[in-house]
Amino acid sequence: MSNDPYGDRGNKDWSVGNAKGQGSIMPKASGKTHPAPGGPFLIGDSMTAGYGAGPDILHDCTIAVDRGEIAVIVGPNGAGKSTGMKAVFGMLDMRKGHVRLDGEDITNLSPQDRVAKGMGFVPQTSNIFTSMTVEENLEMGAFIRRDDFRDTMAQVYDLFPILKEKRNQAAGELSGGQRQQVAVGRALMTQPKVLMLDEPTAGVSPIVMDELFDRIIEVARTGIPILMVEQNARQALEIADKGYVLVQGANAFTGTGKELLADPEVRKSFLGG
Amino acid sequence: MNQTVKNTILFAIIALMIIYTGFAQSWNSALLIVAMGLISSIMALGVNLQWGFAGLFNVGIMGFVALGGLAAVLVSMPPTEGAWTTGGFAIIGALLLGAGTVVAAVMLMKRMAPGIARTLAVIAVLVVGFFVFRALLDPAVQAVEAINPAQSGYLGGLGLPVLISWPVGGLFAAGAAWLIGKTALGLRSDYLAIATLGIAEIIIAVLKNEDWMSRGVKNVIGLPRPVPYEIDLQNSASFVERAAGFGFDPVEASTLWVKLLYIALFAVVLLILLWMSQRALHSPWGRMLRAIRDNEVAAEAMGKDVTARHLQVFILGSAICGIAGAMMTTMDSQLTPGTYQPLRFTFLIWVMVIVGGSGNNFGAILGGFLIWFLWVQVEPMGLWLMNLITAGMSEGSALKAHLIESAAHMRLLTMGIVLLLVLRFSPRGLIPER
Amino acid sequence: MDLLNAFIALSNYVLIPGIAYGSQLALGALGVTLVYGILRFSNFAHGDTMAMGTMATILVTWLFQSMGLSLGFLPTALLALPFGIGFAILLLLGTDRVVYKFYREQKAKPVILVIVSLGVTFIYNGITRFIIGADDQNFLDGERFIMSARDFKALTGLKEGLAFKTTQGITIVTAIIVVALLFWFLNKTRAGKSMRAYSDNEDLALLSGINPERVVMITWIIVAALATIAGTLYGLDKSFKPFTYFQLLLPIFAAAIVGGLGSPVGAIAGGFVIAFSEVTITYAWKKVLGYVMPEGLEPDGLVQLMSTDYKFAVSFVILLIVLLIKPTGLFKGKSV
């Protein structure tokens, strides 16, 4: 704290300010993109990255997803799974490596501009606007769209019927599973070309988890590639076309979901036998 | 260049600026800057304790300083003849009753089960208490204020030596801080800023309006002094002789000597407080404070009572401001409630702390001197600048008159710019925390 | 008849002034609450922003007056108001660019921005005094009363007069229009919703493609307009003095906090709560009670609960009571 000149010295006086909801994504200027044909639809290729001047968290880590696929990142706590996602989304400082989307190198783009390029991201926490209604959450998801997005909203409501029922309720009043549906729905509103989910089932009950996985598969069937981080490795790998096991910020195992599930070493270390 | 050398140079620069003032303007103004610089440093020390070491945002410094000033009056002025018997005791009684009413209401709040009955009971106690309080207070106040209103019209003080008022001022401020801290700290989140902002205004309003206590806006003047009067010095043959020995005329020598005595007194207080602050901060208590500041959650998990620590440091810091307030009123030898303004007595102290270096006691002192020097000297500088700008304009031009007249407001502008520049380019202040 | 007289006296001295003052506080508190909600800090420079905007309005008013422009029975200041707002917008956007933006990019904590706003307070205060001086300025012209006490008595034959000042009428009408526009903007328009989204969750707003700098810009523009309108209405109704505007900070903050910081509805409610408590507690009730109480029981004294000098104390005590009962304010603000 004392080495951060603009820190608050532990002040928690809400009559001077309210840090709740304050952003953590450091603003950065967007650089240029250039064509880089070939390869998977979205790939974070040999990424070495960290926060600011801090140490590297990712070491030569590669994550990719292709059209029509679900790719899952699993691994122990602190393995850099979420960090890997964030690196793909441009929220870290990339020291080495590239991110390519649909034949274009987007390594130097800011997160906002990646949204405009068609990437949808659902963070693990704080992934809905709690004080706004469900419908307003979806509208905000469609913020960058200037066309008529009523069709998309209808599709989201078809996918998550409970949201239609609760559309005028404040999203913060919903249950955990419903909130995750709002979060995914919000990201779908941009009509993303690829959807990235950071632990979509964190903190929901097993029944709700199954339902959420079903929905995610349904989204994938509409043709949107999905890259997600999951804590529940076994279930996630079961639905995965491609799986990445990360350990300490580096690729440990890579393969199809089935291969990884069958791999005795993976089973022993990460799936509990 | 190591830190100690740099700090020494910074202090030396300020010393040189003040010495230059002595040569260029007058030694009187130079010494006055030193004296007020000492007082400002003490205030900054208090605020630094709160902000620098505990992250508490106090915007009611003015109130604590004014309480110190009130202490100076109540301790040192002679009691007004007959005031206590005609109404003084009744006033005290009424105040006690008022306090009792509030306590009773609070007790009711705590004891009774929540519900309409409790709300009604509390309101009833407060309303009845208020009217009885007013019925007792008003006549007593009128009686006191009727005593020779042109000269006194107030209770007067205890007639004790004025130096006693310095610690008493600290106690007054500490008491107020305890009340504020108790209510405003330690809920799930604090609201200390608005609480201090409000209380400070209320304290000033009380000082301005409660004539029976300190004559309100009629001001109390001629407070007894801890140092000799100039006129006595001038009449003392030995002093005149010694002054002549140094080549001073008696009048100038007497004013300088008086200021030097004040400076010596203030310097002693500052050194004591500085020593105490340094000791406190390197004690386990101080380390705990910084641990809380830097990671409150962890400190709380280790069983540290964060709220109690914050309350302690808030009271201590405010007490220091109270002491400084008493010292200032002592030197002015008058209490003028109308002059207490937040920009001068609250926000300016904040500029001192930030510019000097939050979290560093020496920084607070440096900031106190530097900013006070600027506060005093920007006006003549501004005037000089305006005269330069308007030199070419015709005599009697309205713009020229306006510009020269406005030079007085340059100091506010300067303070704002200094604060913003330091925050932007040297956010940890001139002497950063180590 | 006496009851009617009592009601007229009450309206004359408490209700109408209370509503007018409440509207002014509400507009001020809305500005504070918006900055708190979007930029996440308590803007100590708000009182001086009001002073700057009002000063610009006054200068343009004087210009119009010297040119012979007027609005008939309405004050010329209304004609000058858009220019004052324009000036305040430029001022705030300029300040944001030069001062606040840097700290936003550093993700500085709110309390740092509060200290920054102290610096801005000094600067605005200095500039205002530099340009227009520290003295009282009166810039009211046009018809003074919509209805004067004398006319009212003649009209109704009642003993009590009811005066309705033009400035009070303008204040109330303007406040209603401004508040309606603001709420429509925040709740119905795309830009307004994006402001609420940003206030709720900055990162997610960014991930939804909302441009933070645009949100901040719109906020400052609205705050500039609100501050100038509030300041000008207050100045017309009472008078313009830079120091008074600085001091308005306390009741305005109290209003915003009582209502719940960050909640626009709360800011309005808070404004009226604070205004009415100030007016009722510092009003001398002798006249009203004289009508209501039975013969012989009329009060002797002024029946003034507290002297007007304690109006700050009143707002503050109300604030304390509300916080002790409802720590988040009347309408759940963003706190805790």
**Given pLDDT bands bounded at 50, 70 and 90, which one contains residue A273?**
low
Q: What are the sequence ranges of the domains in chain A?
A: 31-118+233-273
Please state, in angstroms and rounded to a whole number, the distance separating the CA atoms of residues B334 and B73: 8
Stated as kind and residue range, the H or E segment containing C147 is: strand C145-147
The residues on C that touch A, with CB distances below 8 Å, are 36, 40-42, 103-114, 190, 193-194, 196-197, 199-212, 253, 257, 261-262, 334-336
In a domain, B430, yes or no: no
Which residues of chain B lie closer than 8 angstroms to C320, CB-CB? 183, 195
* pLDDT score recorded for residue C294: 77
Ramachandran bin of A46, using left for φ above 0, alpha for ψ from -120 to 50, beta for the remaining angles: left
**Given pLDDT bands bounded at 50, 70 and 90, which one contains residue A101?**
very high
Count of A-B CB contacts under 8 Å: 51
Give ipTM to 2 decimals: 0.92
* pLDDT score recorded for residue B394: 78
Which residues of chain A lie closer than 8 angstroms to B359, CB-CB? 2, 9
* pLDDT score recorded for residue C335: 40
The 8 Å CB, 24+ separation contacts for B330-334 are: B330/B72, B330/B76, B330/B162, B330/B163, B330/B165, B330/B166, B330/B223, B330/B225, B330/B226, B331/B35, B331/B39, B331/B262, B332/B223, B333/B221, B333/B222, B333/B223, B333/B224, B333/B225, B334/B219, B334/B220, B334/B221, B334/B222, B334/B223
Please state, in angstroms and rounded to a whole number, the distance separating the CA atoms of residues A142 and A191: 8
Mean pLDDT (whole number) for C250-263:
91
Q: Which of residues 107-166 of C touch B (CB under 8 A)?
A: 111-112, 114-116, 118-127, 129-131, 133-134
Mean pLDDT (whole number) for B362-381:
94
> Is residue B246 domain-shared with residue B141, that is, in the same domain?
no
Q: Which amino acid, A19?
A: A
For the record, the structure tokens of C313 come out as: 């104390």
CATH 3.40.50.300 fits A31-118+233-273, yes or no: yes
Q: In this predicted structure, which of A29-43, C71-85, C107-121, C290-304 has the lowest mean pLDDT?
A: C290-304
pLDDT of C1 strictly over 80: no
Q: Residue C54's closest CA among C113, C118, C127? A: C127
Q: Distance, in angstroms, between C220 CA and closest chain A CA?
A: 17
**Given pLDDT bands bounded at 50, 70 and 90, which one contains residue A30?**
confident
pLDDT in tens, A106-165: 999 999 899 999 999 999 889 999 999 999 999 999 999 888 999 999 999 999 999 999
In a domain, B434, yes or no: no
Q: What CATH number is attached to the domain comprising C203?
A: 1.10.3470
> DSSP letter string over B98-154?
HHHHHHHHHHHHHHSPSSHHHHHHHHHHHHHHHHHHHHHHHHHHHHHHHSSTTT--S
pLDDT in tens, C28-48: 999 999 999 999 999 999 999
Q: Distance, in angstroms, between B195 CA and closest chain A CA?
A: 9
User: Residue C158: helix, strand or coil by DSSP?
Assistant: coil
Please state, in angstroms and rounded to a whole number, the distance separating the CA atoms of residues B75 and B168: 8
Residue finishing a domain among B139, B155, B171: B155
Residue finishing a domain among B125, B155, B185: B155
pLDDT of C6 strictly over 50: yes
**CB of C269 closer than 8 Å to CB of C259:** yes
> Is residue B89 domain-shared with residue B214, that is, in the same domain?
no
In a domain, B432, yes or no: no
Chain B residue nearest residue A8, CA to CA: B55
The residues on B that touch C, with CB distances below 8 Å, are 55, 57, 59, 130, 183, 187-189, 191, 193-195, 197-199, 201-202, 205, 208-209, 341-343, 347, 350-351, 354, 405-406, 409-417, 419-420, 423-424
In a domain, C209, yes or no: yes
Mean pLDDT (whole number) for C226-243:
94
| Any A CB within 8 A of B295 CB | yes
pLDDT in tens, C143-201: 888 888 888 888 888 888 888 999 999 999 999 999 999 999 999 999 999 999 999 99
**Contact partners of B by the rule of 3+ C-beta pairs under 8 A?**
A, C
Which residues of chain A lie closer than 8 angstroms to B295, CB-CB? 1, 10
> Is residue B199 domain-shared with residue B302, that is, in the same domain?
yes
pLDDT of C12 strictly over 60: yes
> Is residue B15 domain-shared with residue B162, that is, in the same domain?
yes
The 8 Å CB, 24+ separation contacts for B276-281 are: B277/B45, B277/B49, B277/B361, B278/B361, B281/B53, B281/B361
Please state, in angstroms and rounded to a whole number, the distance separating the CA atoms of residues B299 and C216: 36
B413–C119: do the CB atoms touch at under 8 Å?
no
Q: Distance, in angstroms, between C60 CA and closest chain A CA?
A: 34
Mean pLDDT (whole number) for B232-253:
88
**What Rg value do the Cα atoms of chain B yield, rounded?**
24
In a domain, C64, yes or no: yes
* pLDDT score recorded for residue B138: 87
Give the bridge partners for A23, in sequence order: none
Which residues of chain A lie closer than 8 angstroms to B427, CB-CB? 5-6
pLDDT of B301 strictly over 80: no
Q: Which of residues 152-191 of A touch C (CB under 8 A)?
A: 186-187, 190
**Contact partners of A by the rule of 3+ C-beta pairs under 8 A?**
B, C
B188–C111: do the CB atoms touch at under 8 Å?
no
B187–C327: do the CB atoms touch at under 8 Å?
yes
> Is residue B138 domain-shared with residue B286, that is, in the same domain?
no
In a domain, C333, yes or no: no
Mean pLDDT (whole number) for C79-102:
97
Q: In this predicted structure, which of A185-199, B143-157, C291-305 has the lowest mean pLDDT?
A: C291-305
> Domain residues for C181?
2-325
The pLDDT > 90 percentage for chain C reads 61
Q: What CATH number is attached to the domain comprising B203?
A: 1.10.3470
* pLDDT score recorded for residue C336: 35
| Among candidates A10, A12, A15 on the partner chain, residue whose Cβ is nearest the Cβ of B194 | A15
pTM of the predicted model over 0.95: no
> Is residue B96 domain-shared with residue B238, that is, in the same domain?
no
Q: At how many degrees (to 10) do helices B398-406 and C110-132 cross? A: 140
Chain B residue nearest residue A16, CA to CA: B193
> Is residue B131 domain-shared with residue B49, that is, in the same domain?
no
C36–A190: do the CB atoms touch at under 8 Å?
no
Ramachandran bin of B301, using left for φ above 0, alpha for ψ from -120 to 50, beta for the remaining angles: alpha
> Is residue B61 domain-shared with residue B193, that is, in the same domain?
yes
Which residues of chain B lie closer than 8 angstroms to C335, CB-CB? 189
pLDDT in tens, B43-91: 999 999 999 989 999 999 999 999 999 999 999 999 888 888 888 889 9
> Is residue B84 domain-shared with residue B74, that is, in the same domain?
no
> Domain residues for B327?
3-79+156-425
What's the structural domain count of chain C? 1
Mean pLDDT (whole number) for B407-416:
88
pLDDT in tens, A70-91: 999 998 888 888 999 999 999 8
pLDDT in tens, B18-56: 999 999 989 999 999 999 999 999 999 999 999 998 999
What's the structural domain count of chain B? 2
* pLDDT score recorded for residue A75: 87
pLDDT in tens, B163-176: 999 999 999 999 99
**CB of C49 closer than 8 Å to CB of C124:** yes
Provide the pairing of β-strand A42-50 with A56-65.
antiparallel
In a domain, C254, yes or no: yes
**Given pLDDT bands bounded at 50, 70 and 90, which one contains residue A2?**
very low
